[in-house]
Chain A
Amino acid sequence: MQVSITVNGQQRTDEVEPRLLLAHYLRETCGLTATNIGCDSTSCGACTVVVDGLSVKSCTVLAAQADGAQVTTLEGLAGSDGELHPVQAAFRAEHGLQCGFCTSGMVMAAIGVLADNPDPTDREVREGLEGNLCRCTGYHNIVRAVRTAAQAGPAAGQVPQAQEVVQ
């Protein structure tokens, strides 16, 4: 079947099998490998991307279900001049990663948390990231990074494409 999906602002049309998962579509069809597959069972959040403004686990969404949607991956966050998204910048500044495997999913989920709640408490960040596992950091620096990102204002809770999508 054919799907037309806008990935990181660029519309593309691909011939896919109905059973192709969005995570595999992004990694293999689009060649965007920042989106990691960890558990492959909706538990770890490593595969989190933003679809039409909402964080989702792409290992549990069919590419077919994203037909017509706007999908943002980690690759779509930084500006064309390389300027990092506020959440990316805060993860770097606050040492919110060690091995980095969970990081792309954490950053995408954190954007979702900030979209919902622009100035969350530590507890609210932890609850908002309950679907994302990190085996390295112990979460403290991740929580700090998200709170630091919140200081950047509304941009921290937005993906570049979502600004065009919203209503």
Chain B
Amino acid sequence: MIPAPFEYVKVASVDEALSALAEHGEDAKLLAGGHSLLPIMKLRLAIPSALIDISGIADLSYVRVEGDGADAIVAIGAGTRHYELERDEVARAEVPMLPHVAGRVGDPQVRHRGTIGGTTAHSDPASDLPTALLALGGTVVLQGPGGRREVPVTEFWTGFFETAMSPDEMVVELRVPRTGSTGWGYEKFTRRENDWPIVAAAAVGSRGGGAGGPLRVALANMAGTVLRATATEEALAGGASIAEAAELADQGTSPGADMHADADYRRHLARLLTRRALETAAGAA
């Protein structure tokens, strides 16, 4: 399988990437790790006229803490590859769910190429890091001709492969509130270890609120986007037990059916994985 022909442009900075996007128009695509884009180009499901390779932008790959105390933010460059995040000491100490989840993406070869900006921009509801980011809260930083803007993660993923980003913008950073020792849990169900989640649940926070905020739950592959289990979150805030609240996890979801699972089985998984993720989060708190 060979992609349709395209023009290849390698850029060295965000500014160069943005002007190349402006120059080549809507049929151009950014290329980061290429581990979502190249497979669909090989299937000719995407036929971009130009690929703008941003993987050589060195200063897009970093993890650092900004600010301190309860307001501290962990800033992650969009070009940070999954394996870099998985091993990053700052991320491990300040927002441990993210490096854990990065390590659950695909297999080592995939993690050596894929980036957090790519998985964020791709907006596949069956993706791991967006699920974790949605539970953690925080923002996606976009840069375009008009400068930078921050979109809350709760508003970023708008549909299957659709986001709040416009075609002349790119993701430059993810900003995540520091969680430190706050409890968290991530439960991913797959048939093969290196696959996308059939369903996954991410939970983080604590009952009392406090530094890590109240308990939040996000789900993968239960609708056209990753989404929060709001009924569960509200029940927990109202004093329900974890078991009671987890029974509501599939409310408001619209899971699809495929060769791996039908919709009812996905609903069952959402409830079960939510309970397990919440129990882990509560146990570690």
Contacts and interface: CB of A to CB of B under 8 A. Distances in A.
Interface string A49-62: 00000111100111
Nearest to B83: A54
Given A18-B7, A41-B42, A56 B113 contact: yes
Contacts of A1: 8
A40 interface: yes
Given A19-B4, A61-B34, A67 B10 contact: yes
Interface in B1-25: 1-8, 10
B53 interface: yes
Contacts of A109: 108-109
A83 interface: no
Contacts of B5: 17-19
Interface string B175-213: 000000000000000001110000000000000000000
Q: For chain B, give the interface size range.
A: 20 to 34
A112 interface: yes
B39 A60 contact: yes
A45 interface: yes
Given A40-B1, A41-B42, A131-B194, A60 B34 contact: yes
Contacts of B193: 127, 130
Given A55-B112, A60-B38, 7 more contacts: A19-B5, A19-B6, A60-B34, A61-B113, A65-B34, A130-B108, A131-B109
A62 B34 contact: yes
5 shortest interchain CB distances as A-B pairs: A131-B107, A18-B8, A54-B112, A130-B193, A130-B194
A21 B2 contact: yes
10 contacts: A41-B39, A42-B35, A55-B109, A62-B8, A62-B51, A65-B31, A112-B108, A128-B108, A130-B194, A131-B110
B43 to A, nearest CB: 8
B137 interface: no
B8 A64 contact: yes
B74 to A, nearest CB: 24
A87 interface: no
Nearest to A1: B8
A156 interface: no
